[in-house]
Amino acid sequence: MPVNAKFKYMRVETRERLKDLIETYERATKVMEHGAKRAIREEGRAYGGFIRSQKGQLQEFITTELIGISWVNELKKAPGRLAINSEKIKIPIRHDYIIKIANKTVRDYISQNIRRFYYGLSVDRHVFVDGTFIMGIECKAYAENAMLKRILVDFHLLKTKTPDLICYLFQLESQLGGDYSILVKEPKGSFSSHSLMSYFQNVDLQIITLLPGERKVERPINKPDFFKPLPLERLENAVDNLVNGFERARAG
């Protein structure tokens, strides 16, 4: 097993899988512009919508692969114990809310139909081990603080059902400010992001950024002139974080 200064326990097969993932990212990003032109011509799709969709799917694919690599290649666990989905989870109405409703007609109506009062919620990747929901991961081509606010709310609601849930944001690029796109490990974050997170202390959101450099609207990575390579070190950091997540969840 080769020794790496920052990720010294990374297995050889893990690193090879990550190199394959880098190649997949490069191929997908470099044909994205061509695909957009074809979609506009043949399907009448909007350019911006197509690109956003492609980047989102790419990030979800990378994240799913990283979960599997962390569990199977790095931790050497049985793949059959792992399940990944994004199925809706029912968040039920709070009973203390019903009690406080002043209008008796409304209060009685809700009480009589209580099983119908829930909100179906999911994040992009729900990770289960042996049938237990242990991690939630939101995947973004990029995130800015308005998105972060919604992500925090979603995880806050999920944790009402699964209090020990480990929460991640995986993003290709960052538009959160601070040093999220600069430091690979242990970024200090940004003023506005930490201010938002201070109101959701039960979430303990871990933010993983895969591409260096703050996102610039006028420099999209699907354009050849602005393409950003995906550094191996950042994928290693993502695996390192996921391994820690599995271990924190005691998914042995």
When pLDDT is averaged across residues 5-25 and rounded to a whole number, the result is 81
Q: What is the pLDDT of residue 5?
A: 36
Summarised one tens digit per residue, pLDDT across range 132-163 is 999 999 999 999 999 999 999 999 999 999 99
With H, G, I as helix, E, B as strand and everything else as coil, classify residue 237: helix
Tokens 């490069």 locate to: 26
How far is 88 from 19, CA to CA, in rounded Å?
A: 33
Tokens of 104: 């008796």
Kindly tell me the sign of the dihedral angle through the C-alpha atoms of 239, 16, 5, 230. negative
CA–CA distances in Å: residue 37 to residues 31, 41, 220: 10, 6, 15
Per-residue pLDDT band for 122 (boundaries 50, 70, 90) equals very high
Pairing of strands 125-129, 118-121: unpaired
Listed residue (74, 106, 103, 76) closest to 93, CA to CA = 106
Angle between helix 47-68 and 232-248 (nearest 10):
60
User: What whole-number distance in Å separates Cα of residue 92 and Cα of residue 73?
Assistant: 37
With vertex at residue 53, the alpha carbon angle to CA 131 and CA 120, rounded to the nearest 5 degrees, is 40
Q: Which residues contact 129 (CB under 8 A, 6 or more apart)?
A: 71, 81, 82, 83, 246, 249, 251
Scan for tokens 């979960």, then name that residue: 67
What torsion, rounded to 10 degrees, do the Cα atoms 252, 249, 161, 68 define?
-70
Q: What is the pLDDT of residues 51-87, one digit of tens each?
A: 989 999 999 999 999 999 999 999 999 999 999 999 9
How far is residue 24 CA from its own chain's centroid?
A: 19
Q: Exposure of 156 by Cβ count < 10 A (0-12 exposed, 13-18 middle, 19+ buried)?
A: middle
Q: Where do we find the tokens 């050849």? A: 224
pTM: 0.91
